[in-house]
Structure 1
C-alpha cells in the first residue's frame, strides 16, 4: 500500500499520479489545508454523492455507512484533557482516504504499524482496523487516567468531607463521562456494523481483528458505567460523612446541655429567695452550692463516658 500525506493544495492530478497499479492499494490522507485536492479526487473517483458529503462535512456521532463499492467511517479520537477530534475515512477496493481538520499523532501511528506489518498494507481492511484499534487503545489509556482521578477524589472525601469543591468535581466528571460513554458506545456499534459488512475488503481475514476492537470498546463502555456508579457512591459517601459529623456535633451539644441541666436546677433552687431557706445564711452555703454543681457535672460526665456516649473510647452502648 502506498501512503501519501497531502498538506498543500498544489497537487494537480492527484488521482492520476497516485492511482494504484495491479493489486496495489493506496492510502491518502488529507487535512483542511488540502481539502480542495480531496474534492478533486472524489470527483475523479466518482464517489457516491452522500459518501462525498459525509467525508467533506463530517458527522456529529461515530458511524459507519455502506455505499455502492465504498464504506464511510466516522471516528472520534480522544485527546488530552478529554477532548475529542474527528477523523473521517472512505474505503474502496483500491483506496483508503482519510480526512481530519488538523493532524493528529493517530495518523503517524497507523503509518508506523503498516510499515511494521507490511503484509497488511495490501488490504484496505487492515488500514481501517489500525485506525479503530489505535482509537480504542487511546480510550483505554484515558480510562486508566480517569480511574486514578476518581481514586484521588475518593481519598479527598475522607480528608476534607466538607469541601464543596468535591461535589462540583463529581458533577463535572459525571458530565465528561456521560459524553465519553456516548462516543464509546457509538464506536462500538460502528465496529459491529463493519463486522457484518459485505464489501470485498471486509472479510473473514479481518473480522477477528474487528472483534478484538469491539471487545476493547466494550471494556471502555463498561468502565465508564462503573465510573458513573463510583462517582454516585463518592457523592453519597460525602453526604454520609457530613451527616455523621453533624451527628457528632449535635451529640456533643446535647451531652453538654444535659450536664448543665442539674447545675441550672441547683442554681435555680438557691435563687428563689424564700424567707425560710437556712442555706442562704449559712457561712459555707456558696461554696457548698458550687461543689454540689461541680460534683453533679463530673458524675454525669463519668456516667456518659462509661456508657460510651462521650468521646471515642471504643466501648459499646449499654
Structure 2
C-alpha cells in the first residue's frame, strides 16, 4: 500500500493541480474547499493551489486550508505530493478505521478524530440505531491544513465560517484550526450525549411505569450497544488531547496548548458522563430483570393456587370413581347434591384463603 502511494505521489509531482473551484476540480469531486489565509483573512483564489501555497510561503504569514471528503488513492496521492505529506500518514487517511491519535511526521502533525452523530427516530425500539460514527483526519504543517473526512458527519463548513469571522484566531495559524476542529468534535459529542440521555430517560420511565412490558430488556441492551460504540469513539481521544496539551508537538506553539487543555477537560467530563450512563443502564436492567422475576413469581403463585383449588374436586371425583359397592352415601337420594355442595364449599374456602394471603 505504501509503495503504491509513493508511486502515485511521484507521478503526481509532474502534474498540474487546479483546485480553484471551491467544490469541483480536476483533482476529483472529493475536494470540498481550498482557501488560503494571510494575517487571518481569507484570500481570493487567483490561481492553482500550488500558486496559493507558493504565495503563502513567499509571504511567510499565512496558510492554505484544503478540505477533502472520502478521496480515493489517486486524489489523496496528488495532494500528498503537493504538500509533501508522509506516506504512512497518507495511508492511514486513505484506509480509515483509525483510532483517535495525534502523531508527528517530520515537521508536520497528523491527527485523527472520530465523528459522531445522533440518529433521530420517532420511537426507540430494540433495533433502533442511536449513534452513527465517521472519521476526520487532519494534516497540519507550518503553512497548510488538510482535512480528510469519512462519513456523513463532521462537516467543517460552519466551523470554517466561524473561524473566518475571527481573524485573530486564524492569525495563529494551522494550530488554531486544529484546536477548533478538536473543540467542535467534543461539542458534537456533548450534543450526542444529551440526545442519548433523553433515550435513557425514556427507557427508565417505561421500565418503572405501571404497565411496563417484559420487552424492555431488548431496548436496554440496544442502548448499551450504542453507548459502547459511542464510548469507542470518545474515550481514546483523551490521550491525544493530553499529548497536544502538554508535550511539544510540530505546528502547535506553546500559546495554543492551554486551549487543548480546556478541550481535554471537557472530554474528561464527557467520559465521566458516559460512565454514569453505563452504570445507570446496568441499574435499570437489573431493576427490569427483578420486575420480570417478581412477575413470574406472581404467575407461579396464581397457578399454584388454582391448582390447589382444582385438586379438591379432583380428589372427591377420583374417590367416587372407584366403583366400590360399599361407599358412604352411595345409595342416598341426596348423596350427589351433597358431594357437589361439599366440593363447592371446599373450593370456596380455599379460594378465600388464597385471596386473603394475596395469592389470587
Match in the other structure for 2:24: 8
Contact 2:109–2:250 (Cα < 8 Å) also in 1: no
**Are 2:87 and 1:71 aligned?**
no
Write the deviation string for residues 284-317 of structure 1: whole angstroms up to 9, x where unpaired: 22222222222222222222333x2334xxxxxx
- Show the counterpart of 1:142: 192
Alignment of 1:228-239 (within 5 A): 228-239=278-289
TM-superposed deviation, 1:73: 0.7
Q: 5+ residue gaps in structure 2? A: 1-19, 28-46, 120-130
Find 1:284's aligned residue among 329, 334, 342. Answer: 334
Give the corresponding residue for 1:259: 309
Structure 2 equivalent of residue 117 of structure 1? 166
Q: 1:7 to 1:302 in 2, by over 3 A?
A: same
Distance 1:272 1:125 in 2: 98
1:200 deviation in Å?
Answer: 6.2
Choose between structure 1 and 2: higher helix proportion.
Answer: 1
Aligned counterpart in structure 1 of residue 61 of structure 2, from 11, 23, 33: 23
**Per-residue displacement from partner, 1:2-54 (whole Å, max 9, x unpaired)?**
xx984333487413224423433332323456986764554344444434444
Structure 2 CA distance for partners of 1:199 and 1:264, relative to 1, 3 Å: closer
In 1, the alpha carbon distance for the partners of 2:335 and 2:97 equals: 92
Equivalent in 343, 348, 352 of residue 293 of structure 1: 343
Task: Give the match for residue 148 of structure 2.
Answer: 99
TM-score normalized by structure 2? 0.72
Deviation at 1:197, TM superposition (A): 3.3
Q: Which residues in structure 2 correspond to 1:83-98 (within 5 Å)? A: 83-98=132-147
Secondary structure, counterpart of 1:131 in structure 2: helix
Deviation at 1:59, TM superposition (A): 5.5
In structure 2, the residue matched to 1:151 is: 201
Q: Would you say how many aligned residue pairs link Structure 1 and Structure 2?
A: 305
Q: Deviations over 1:165-191 (max 9, x none)?
A: x44444443333222212211222221
TM-score, normalised via structure 1 length: 0.80
SS class of match (2:181):
helix
- Between stretches 266-275 and 174-183, larger displacement belongs to 266-275
Q: Which residue of 2 aligns with 1:224?
A: 274
Aligned runs of 1:157-172 on 2, under 5 Å?
Answer: 157=207, 159-163=211-215, 166-172=216-222
Task: Please report how far the alpha carbon of residue 57 of structure 1 lies from its aligned counterpart in structure 2 after TM superposition.
Answer: 4.7
| Structure 1 residues 184 and 162, CA gap change in structure 2 (3 angstroms) | same
Asked if structure 2 preserves the Cα contact closer than 8 Å seen for 1:6 and 1:29, the reply is: no
Deviates more, 1:129-138 or 1:49-58: 49-58
Instruction: Report the more deviating stretch, 147-156 or 264-273.
Output: 264-273
Q: Secondary structure at the match of 1:281?
A: coil
Q: CA deviation at 1:87?
A: 1.7
Moved more, 207-216 or 261-270: 261-270
Distance 2:328 2:68 in 1: 106
